[in-house]
Amino acid sequence: MKILVVGGGGREHALVWKIAQSPLVEKIYCAPGNPGIAALAENVPLAVDDIAGLCAFARDNAIDLTVVGPELPLTLGIADTFKQAGLAIFGPSKAAARIEGSKGFSKDLMRKYGIKTADYASFDQRDAAVAYIRAHGAPIVIKADGLAAGKGVILAQSEEEAIAAVDDILVNKKFGAAGSSLVIEEFLRGEEASFFAFTDGKNVLPLASSQDHKQIFDGDKGPNTGGMGAYSPAPVVNDALYQRIVAEVVQPTIDGMAAEGCPYCGILFVGLMIENDDFKVLEFNARFGDPEAQPLLMRMKSDVVPVLLDCARGELTTTALEWHDSAAVCVVLASAGYPGSYSKGDVINGIDAANAIDGVHVFHAGTAARDGAIVTAGGRVLGVTGIGADVAAAIETAYAGTRAISWPGMQLRSDIGRKALNREGK
């Protein structure tokens, strides 16, 4: 079978790496892909939001299944266009992708179906938003309604900071149409975890637990990023919480989406805040997490392709996924300056040496090929993923991989996975 993967980051490299192991697959294309993906798939120079181009490519090349990595094409309706053309695609419809594309939609869904989340209200008028902030005080969280490239969530420490965020979004239109309305919500404390489940719109197939590291600096300091590292399994999600998240969040969300007339097919990403063995939902995303996909797919024993196909067909037959007993840890290597403006074009050394270490796999994110070398081309550049018997061993492996790699200004966190060790009392 022929598969097209849409995207070109670490998540898509990990997806292509996993899909390539399936005996069902004879050829993989990736649009636009990256130099790491090029070793496993044929890269196609089409942008992720070129939906007409991607659809024509899939039709002309008799692609049996298209797998969508990032949220942008989903919110633009790529799944609808492919289905209308009779092409199989893994990923939710435009209406279902509102679960990520509109904070107001997802918060209202949670309220309606009794899914625990931070208290909130939605606004499109400045004065009403300011009155709400004055009434509730700080810290308080302001979220632009639409997609804002990860910059639309402001954790305001004072009422003034919150009001400035409201002005930026509603008055100064900092995020354009993505900020025509906003959500203001209660500030939650605790430890974050990411939870994923495949779904055909009715049945759910949960993945192993995982945790991301959002902030740029060690100890969860500094501004938020797309994710500086991830690991699986995550002991903060103990067995009891795991079962509750499936029963109290994942299944009611999928049932609720169907009841709303927009059944959700694909992978559901639940962002959770966990405190005192209880949780609230921070957000939903309509896709796999990045970097979470990297350790999760390295640990997944089951062939992922039949699951992706079943979800695309709307008929999930697999009832449980198999996992390797090992743990996996992904450490992201980022460019100098990230998550602000960052340098590009620096030559990266040592990728082959890192890959030669037993248990290490280097996934490419923001890289480019230039004159026979691999150079930096994005904020998050590589995901160095290591496996080990437990999280402690996987941390050792992943960091051994990072020590083999260098370029001027390379930055990484030195404490990826540390929370798991603290929890295990190590």
What is the contact mask toward ligand GLY in residues 203 to 232, using x (rule: CB under 6 A)? ---------x-------------xx-----
Q: What, of ligand GLY, ligand AMP, none, does residue 227 touch, CB below 5 to 8 Å by kind?
A: ligand GLY
Contact between 214 and ligand AMP (CB under 6 A)? yes
Between 256 and 289, CB nearer to ligand GLY? 289
What's the min distance (Å) between Cβ of 349 and ligand GLY? 27
Output the DSSP codes for 123-167. ESSHHHHHHHHHHH-SSEEEEESS--TT--EEEESSHHHHHHHHI
Q: What's the rounded Cα separation, in Å, for the pair 144 and 152?
A: 5
Q: At what angle do helices 10-19 and 304-313 cross, to 10 degrees?
A: 100
Q: What's the rounded Cα separation, in Å, for the pair 142 and 133?
A: 10
Contact between 187 and ligand AMP (CB under 6 A)? yes
* Gap between the terminal Cα atoms of the chain: 46
Q: What, of ligand AMP, ligand GLY, none, does residue 237 touch, CB below 5 to 8 Å by kind?
A: none
What's the min distance (Å) between Cβ of 187 and ligand AMP? 5
Stretch touching ligand GLY by CB under 6 A, among 130-138, 181-189, 289-297, 321-329:
289-297
Between 162 and 365, CB nearer to ligand GLY? 365
What's the min distance (Å) between Cβ of 155 and ligand AMP? 5
Between 50 and 145, CB nearer to ligand AMP? 145
Distances (CA, A) of 387 to 215, 380, 400, 415, 425: 23, 21, 11, 16, 21
CA 216 from centre of chain:
16
Query: Segment 288-327, which members bind ligand AMP (CB under 6 A)?
Result: none
Stretch touching ligand AMP by CB under 6 A, among 26-34, 35-43, 186-194, 329-337:
186-194
Between 227 and 266, CB nearer to ligand GLY? 227
Residue 337: phi and psi, rounded to 5, are 100, -25
Map residue 87 onto helix, strand or coil: coil
Q: Which residues bind ligand AMP (CB under 6 A)?
A: 118, 141, 143, 153, 155, 185-188, 192, 214, 224, 271, 282-283
